[in-house]
């Protein structure tokens, strides 16, 4: 087979391999960027804090920052799963409201009640997420419209459950999720990081990325689009419900409206975390780090004596800047390589 040899030889003539590390670097540029952003924002925060308080932030500040970020971390995870399939979940905030409201009404101090209701709320979240998924995947409707409609429904349900802010979350519950003694909640973050790395290596994890990358190609590879999409939205609903639980634990009481802002914040965190809004690219770890960056930015604004009324302004501004910069950096890296 002479021609076959010819192919082999010309191929061998220029064997060009970049190292595994070089590939890893090029393929995880979003994650690297968010790490840099996080370090920079922590340094800036420490600097501003020092200027104001003449000492570095201590255990209390770290613990409260971590605890206050936890709902957003979960919301960002919920958003990531759906964004990776090239969707968008606007109902995250509504789901958090509902979960928060139910938690405030139902949780009592006994262990049994706390476990039962937590599980029940997560299951409800999954069920409502499933509803989103079915409408998107089987109903073949636009994710934005579906989740905008279910956002309205979830918010309505939340207000029905808890018309006025109130209820009480047992201290033990708060201690379990967001201990005020030390930033134990970081353990959850690490656990989610590990779980994501494993999930990314499962059939479903690969399918979610593949569907977001190119739905038709994924289908040709035997990936079930409907099942994958439904699974993603279900998972998202459950994670959003978990975010609502953290919100309740933080506030030690319920409020059926505090979750509203998390839809926007979760999208900000996801974008900061290097997850592509066009699907198929990104990591939940990045999104969690993005959540921390958002919260460091809020801290920085606070210590810069910027009126908290302006918070939404800066969030919006950072969102646009993050998207534009991420796009620009991505293009530069592509050109360089």
Partner 1 sequence: MFARLFHSAEARRILYAYIAALALFIIGQIVRPGFLSPASVESVLLIASFVGLVAAGQTFVILIGGIDLSVPWVLNAAAILLATSSLGENARTAQALLITLGMGALVGLANGVGIAFLGVPAVVMTLAANGIMEGLTLGLSGGMTCESCASYAPPLVQALTHSKFLGIPSALWLWFAITLLVSIALSATRFGRHTYAIGTNARASFLAGVNVTATTVILYMLSGIFSALAGIMLVSFGGQAALGMGDPYLFQSIAAVVIGGVYILGGRGHYIGSVAGAICLVTLISVLLALNMPEYGRNIIYGVIILLLLLFYGREEEES
Partner 2 sequence: MTAKTAIGDMPTPAVEASNVRKAFGGVVALDGANFSAASGEVHALVGENGAGKSTLIKIIGGRLHADAGEVRIAGRKVVLSGPDAAHRLGAWTVFQELTLLTWMTVAENLFLGHEIRNSLGLIARGKLFSKAEQVLADVGIFHIDPRALVEDISLAERQLIEIVRAITQNPQILLLDEPTSSLVERETVWLFEQIRRLCKNGTSVVFTSHRWNEIRTIADRITVFRNGKDVGTFTELGEEEAVTLMTGTRVDVFFPPLPQAPQSQPALSVRELSGPRIKSVSFDLYKGEVLGMGGLAGHGHREVFFSLFGAEPHSAERIEMSGKPVRIRNPRGAVRQRIALVPEDRKTEGLLLPLSVRNNLTLTILRQLSRFGLVRVGEERRLAQTLVERLKIRARDLFVAVGALSGGNQQKVLLGRWLLAASDVLLLYDVTRGVDVATKHEIYELVLGLAREGHGILFYSSDAEELAHLCHRVLVMREGRIAAVLSQPGITAEQIVAAAMREHATV
Which residues of this chain interact with partner 2, rule CB under 8 A? Answer: 1, 3-4, 6-8, 10-12, 14-18, 20, 23, 26-27, 198, 201-203, 206, 209-210, 213-214, 216-224, 280-281, 337
Please, are residues 229 and 253 in contact by the beta-carbon 8 Å criterion? no
Note whether 32 binds partner 1 by CB under 8 A: no
- Burial-class residue 68 by CB neighbours within 10 Å (0-12, 13-18, 19+): middle
The CA distance from 58 to 28, in Å, is: 32
By beta-carbon proximity to partner 2, the closer residue of 261 and 330 is: 330
Give residues with Cβ within 8 angstroms of 213, minimum separation 6.
279, 280, 281
Q: What is the DSSP string of 218-233?
A: HHHTT--HHHHHHHHH
Note whether 92 binds partner 1 by CB under 8 A: no
Contact stretch for partner 1 (CB under 8 A) within 35-43, 55-63, 133-141, 202-210: 133-141
Note whether 23 binds partner 1 by CB under 8 A: no
By beta-carbon proximity to partner 1, the closer residue of 103 and 157 is: 157
Among 320, 332, 334, 337, binds partner 1 (CB under 8 A): 320
Note whether 127 binds partner 1 by CB under 8 A: no
The CA distance from 88 to 230, in Å, is: 13
Each as own residue / partner, the long-range contacts of residues 326-331 (CB below 8 Å, 24 or more positions apart, any chain) are: 326/30, 326/33, 326/271, 326/274, 329/29, 329/33, 330/29, 330/30
Among 135, 239, 285, 296, binds partner 1 (CB under 8 A): 135
> Least separation, in Å, of the C-beta of 254 and partner 1?
15
Among 267, 272, 289, 297, binds partner 1 (CB under 8 A): 267
Please, are residues 69 and 291 in contact by the beta-carbon 8 Å criterion? yes
In three-state secondary structure terms, 47 is helix
Contact stretch for partner 1 (CB under 8 A) within 110-118, 172-180, 279-287, 302-310: 302-310
By beta-carbon proximity to partner 2, the closer residue of 20 and 309 is: 20
Among 277, 329, 330, 333, binds partner 1 (CB under 8 A): 277
Rg of the chain taking only CA atoms, in angstroms: 22
Binding site for partner 1 (CB under 8 A): 88, 135, 139-142, 144-146, 148-153, 155-160, 163, 264, 267, 271, 277-278, 307, 309-317, 319-320, 323-324, 327
């Amino acid at each position: 087979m002479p021609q076959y040899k010819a192919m082999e030889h010309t191929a061998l003539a220029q064997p060009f391999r970049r190292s595994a590390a070089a590939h890893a670097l090029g393929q995880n540029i979003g994650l690297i960027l968010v790490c840099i952003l996080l370090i920079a924002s922590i340094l800036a925060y420490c600097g501003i804090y020092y200027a104001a308080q003449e000492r570095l932030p201590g255990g209390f500040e770290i613990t409260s920052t971590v605890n206050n970020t936890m709902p957003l971390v979960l919301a960002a995870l919920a958003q990531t799963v759906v964004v990776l399939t090239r969707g968008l979940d606007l109902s995250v905030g509504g789901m958090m409201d509902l979960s928060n409201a139910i938690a405030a009404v139902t949780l009592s101090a006994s262990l049994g009640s706390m476990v039962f209701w937590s599980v029940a709320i997560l299951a409800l979240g999954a069920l409502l997420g499933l509803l989103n998924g079915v409408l998107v995947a089987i109903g073949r409707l636009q994710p934005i419209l579906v989740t905008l409609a279910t956002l309205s429904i979830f918010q309505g349900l939340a207000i029905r459950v808890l018309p006025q802010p109130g209820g009480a979350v047992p201290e033990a519950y708060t201690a379990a999720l967001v201990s005020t003694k030390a930033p134990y909640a970081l353990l959850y973050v690490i656990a989610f990081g590990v779980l994501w790395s494993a999930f990314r290596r499962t059939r479903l994890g690969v399918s979610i990325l593949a569907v977001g990358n190119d739905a038709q190609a994924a289908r040709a590879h035997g990936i079930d689009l409907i099942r994958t999409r439904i699974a993603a939205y279900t998972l998202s609903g459950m994670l959003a419900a978990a975010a609502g639980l953290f919100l309740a634990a933080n506030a030690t009481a319920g409020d059926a409206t505090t979750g509203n802002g998390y839809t926007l914040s979760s999208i900000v965190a996801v974008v900061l975390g290097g997850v592509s809004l066009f699907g198929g690219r990104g990591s939940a770890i990045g999104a969690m780090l993005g959540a921390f960056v958002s919260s460091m930015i809020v801290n920085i604004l606070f210590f810069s004596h910027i009126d908290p009324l302006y918070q939404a302004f800066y969030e919006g501004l950072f969102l646009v800047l993050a998207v534009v910069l991420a796009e620009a950096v991505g293009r530069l890296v592509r050109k360089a390589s």
